[in-house]
Amino acid sequence: MSRKYQLIVTWALVAVMLGVTLTGCSGNSKVAAGDLMKGINKNPVQLPQKMDGELNQALLDFTWNLFRESGANTGNVMISAPSVYLALGMTLNGADGETREAMLKALSAQNIKPEDFNLGLSAWMTSLMDKENKADVRIANSIWIRDGFEADPAFLQTNGDYYQAGIRSIDFADPSAPKIINQWVEEKTEGTIDKIIEKIDDDLMMYLINAIYFKGEWKDQFKAGSTYESTFSAPAGSVETPFMRRSGNMDYIQGKGATGVILPYTDERFAFVGILPGEGQSPRDFINTITAAEMLTLISTKKTKNIDLSLPKFESSYEDELQDELHALGMEIAFDPYRADFSLMNKAHTKDLFIGEVKHKTYIKVDEKGTEAAAVTGVGVSTTSMPIDLTQVVFDRPFVYAIIDWQTNSPLFVGIMEDPTVK
């Protein structure tokens, strides 16, 4: 049997999203990155006004499934399922046979036609980056291909048309190659993530990278003068950390033993959701006993209440390789050198490609002005006596959080905050 080559799918789960152009190499590098889209005209794509409801539900189900699997990791966790979904969407266009079916199952999209899948994701990407949105949302896709590898033109065309992917050939054998790719990542993430690649193995043929950046200011900001030091009960022991505080009418969540708040950004299409599980229940206990549908119901049945809120300031980074999680979701065949079928990626249509690794990185910063990146963390609250009609919500122990796109009810980012002092 011929030697298999690894296809690397890399997710730069950022909090600062990327632009749509693929910039070239650094000025000091001697490595050339050839534009494989040169001479290929992008086909006009008639996008639907919004993502199809079936695909929307598939994305929601995938988000919750991946979050549950990622919850097995210890410490602070934050993922951007849409980033993973978009990167796998590009990869899916090169898959065939059982590999394609397994990937569609993992993506909860078994009954969705390929064109509808690509169209829906392209429409949602375009909508998220609408210049009329007040929040800064940027998404970028790129594909980096080893010099000499003959990629199938149809595979390149599809990812250029629907994912606006910048596609470059590069000498992977040159020691400077990782630096060039990492510079693209750093630029597209506004410096919040400086690298995704350490080295390039000899058998690697391709990197597919997605990056998403979010930056939004609170509709009602926290006053810096109200921030105070208090105790957060982390699993390893209590820690002192700064808590932001404000009072007033807010959307309040209560159900499934949990309480929480919904904080809109100036662009009310997006909101931060913080959910505090009941006493004695960990965030992981909570997410393992509730379905995606139940979570949406919990959030949608919000009520306006007069709240005294304390939320910890935090800045956090997260890094993971997603092979185990994607295996658990049914994608094991895509990682198997002897069974994977990515024959639609190469011109000869040979079955000599498989996914070798999937890296995921995220970054989030939450302060008095708003949120940059991808997660929210615990909040500690003062215990001073308050008026009887004021409900206290204090995120002073581990909690679940998300940044939600209300138009689709899809979380751009979802995480677990265990210790706001850990960056």
| 4-53 pLDDT tens trace | 545 544 443 333 222 223 333 333 334 444 555 555 566 666 667 677 88
Nearest to 273 by CA among 257, 261, 287: 261
Assign domain 218-313+374-417 one CATH number from 3.40.30.10, 3.40.50.300, 3.30.70.520, 2.30.39.10: 2.30.39.10
The answer to whether the beta carbons of residues 9 and 342 sit under 8 Å apart is no
C-alpha 47/C-alpha 162 separation (Å) is 9
Please give the pLDDT value at position 325.
Answer: 92
Among 73-87, 188-202, 277-291, 379-393, name the one with the lowest average pLDDT. 379-393
Q: What is the residue extent of each domain of the chain?
A: 5-216+316-364, 218-313+374-417
Per-residue HEC secondary structure of 102-163 comes to HHHHHCCCCCCCHHHHHHHHHHHHHHHCCCCCCCEEEEEEEEEEECCCCECHHHHHHHHHHH
Contacts (Cβ under 8 Å, ≥6 apart) of 131: none
Question: Does the CA dihedral 304-253-219-81 come out positive or negative?
Answer: negative
Higher pLDDT, 188 or 70: 70
Please give the pLDDT value at position 376.
Answer: 21
Question: Does the CA dihedral 46-50-56-62 come out positive or negative?
Answer: positive
Asked if residue 415 has pLDDT above 60, the reply is yes
At the second CATH level, the architecture of 5-216+316-364 is 2-Layer Sandwich (3.30)
Please give the pLDDT value at position 30.
Answer: 43
| 49-90 pLDDT tens trace | 677 889 999 999 999 999 999 998 989 999 999 999 999 999
Residue with token string 């007040």:
134
Confidence band of 242 (pLDDT split at 50, 70, 90): very high
Asked if residue 172 has pLDDT above 60, the reply is yes
What are the structure tokens assigned to 192, written together? Answer: 């919040």
